[in-house]
Amino acid sequence: METVNNHRKSDRKWGNLAIVRPPSRRPENRV
């Protein structure tokens, strides 16, 4: 899973965004 490695680096600048990547696509669904 190369995404996991990328998430680790992005985790610092992306923060929670990296973890909520799928739901991030549909912000309306979250709200």
Q: What is the dihedral of CA 6, 8, 13, 18, to 10 degrees?
A: 80
Provide the whole-model pTM. 0.15
Q: Are 10 and 18 in contact (CB under 8 A)?
A: yes
Give me the pLDDT at residue 28, please: 64
- Residue-wise pLDDT tens digits, 1-31: 566 666 566 556 656 655 566 665 666 655 5
Contact 23, 29 (CB under 8 A): yes
